[in-house]
Amino acid sequence: MQPVQTISFSADCDNSAPRGSWQSQLSGAIRDPEALLAAAGLDKRWLSGAEGGHQAFEVRVPQAYLSRIKKGDPNDPLLRQVLPLEHETHAVAGYVTDPLEEADHTPAAGLIHKYAARVLMITSGACAINCRYCFRRHFPYEDHAASRAQWGRTLDYLREDDSLIEAILSGGDPLVSSDARLAWLVGELDAIPHLKRLRLHTRLPVVIPDRVDDAMLEWLSNTRLQKVMVLHINHANEIDDSVMKACERLRGVGVTLLNQSVLLRDVNDDVEVLRALSERLFEAGILPYYLHVLDPVAGAAHFDVPDSEAGALHDRLREQLPGFLLPRLVREVPGERAKTPIQA
């Protein structure tokens, strides 16, 4: 299996978009630490630490997500996911810029083909939110911008490999791309007979729920492909009524909703917090799928929960939840053909 092509749309930030639209919310996201601290009701004592992390991986937080953060609480579990801390500037042995060695699977950039029967397409280099623990925080997205000809060759690669069953749109976040572009791409995928499934990995319906609008539901409705959306939610507080509504609309057009979380120190490293997350996910019609341990990416070591502790937490969670609400505790190991389960 060899990846061959670049396939990346840039973010479709649109400063002329109607006020309140998802595009204007995307353009209007907070992009500097000082503004984030002010919006979170925190004083400037946090600023010097935040500036260093921001230089390495810029702050980005949309208003809809910000509105769920408790003001004046530096320990708020949603704030901790987006506020750079001084720890990010510390070099820690074993924490690297490409923890999953994806560069080895993307010699021509943009298309990652390391698992059987499915390929991952880097559909956008941008996100609506920048999560401090992101394993792609150092990914060279600028090397992955695609020309129209490259898009054509990428799709040829998918057409020519009839072992492929599933196309995965990832990023960045694929849903920062415009509906016109996504409708075109999904139409091209739809026409490849051996493809059965379309999977999207996205955080946008969570961080800007208005992204799930009529235009998006239209291209999702028009494809013959089975649709799976893997959301990324780490704490029950991320699911407010607007997220519930967005999930309901997605399910209404036949999208199967799954969730993957990352186990994060001081965010969700607690049995009761994880139990509440699974319960809340199910209320929103989302099945808990994976609970990942942290990928060792440079700048995120302060979020780490050791495997032994993660396994013990997961065992206690198993005692509290029915099996269908228990996410699989896994690690992604470079070179492995599937995720690796973690035992206590």
**Range in contact with ligand SF4 (rule: CB under 6 A) among 33-41, 123-131, 177-185, 221-229:** 123-131
Edge-to-edge strands, sheet with 328-331: 111-115, 118-122, 166-170, 197-202, 226-232, 255-262, 287-292, 328-331, 340-341
Is 127 near ligand SF4 (CB under 6 A)?
yes
Q: For ligand SF4, which is the closer residue by CB, 76 or 195?
A: 76
Provide, rounded to whole angstroms, the least separation between the CB of residue 162 and ligand SF4: 30
Minimum CB distance to ligand SF4 smaller for 23 or for 195: 23
291 is a site residue for ligand SF4 (CB under 6 A): no
Residue 120 touches ligand SF4, criterion: CB under 6 A: no
- Contact call for residue 64 and ligand SF4 (CB under 6 A): no
* Residue 232 in contact with ligand SF4, rule: CB under 6 A: yes
Q: How many amino acids of this chain bind ligand SF4 (CB under 6 A)?
A: 11
Residue 268 CB contacts under 8 Å (≥ 6 apart), including other chains:
77, 234, 235, 261, 274, 277
DSSP tally for the chain: helices H, then strands E: 12, 9
Burial of 79 (0-12, 13-18, 19+ CB in 10 A): buried
Query: Rounded to the nearest whole angstrom, what is the least distance from the CB of residue 74 to ligand SF4 in the complex?
Result: 20
- Does the protein bind ligand SF4 through residue 61 (CB under 6 A)? no
**Rounded CA separation 6/110 (Å):** 4
Residue 127 identity: C
Question: How distant, in Å, are the alpha carbons of 142, 203, 298 from that of 138?
Answer: 11, 18, 8
Options 85, 119, 134, 310; binder of ligand SF4; rule CB under 6 A = 134
136 sits near ligand SF4 (criterion: CB under 6 A): yes
- For residue 18, the tally of other CB atoms under 10 A from its CB is 9
Q: Could you tell me the CA-to-CA distances from 12 to 110, 128, 202, 246 in Å, in that order?
A: 18, 11, 15, 20
C-alpha torsion sign, points 310, 315, 321, 326: positive
**CB of 172 vs ligand SF4, minimal distance in Å:** 6
Q: Is 131 in the site for ligand SF4 (CB under 6 A)?
A: yes
CB of 170 to ligand SF4, least distance (A): 8
Closer residue to ligand SF4, CB minimum distance, 171 or 288: 171
Nearer to ligand SF4, 4 or 131 (CB): 131
The length of the chain is: 344
Which residues make up the interface to ligand SF4 (CB under 6 A)?
127, 129-131, 134, 136, 171-173, 203, 232
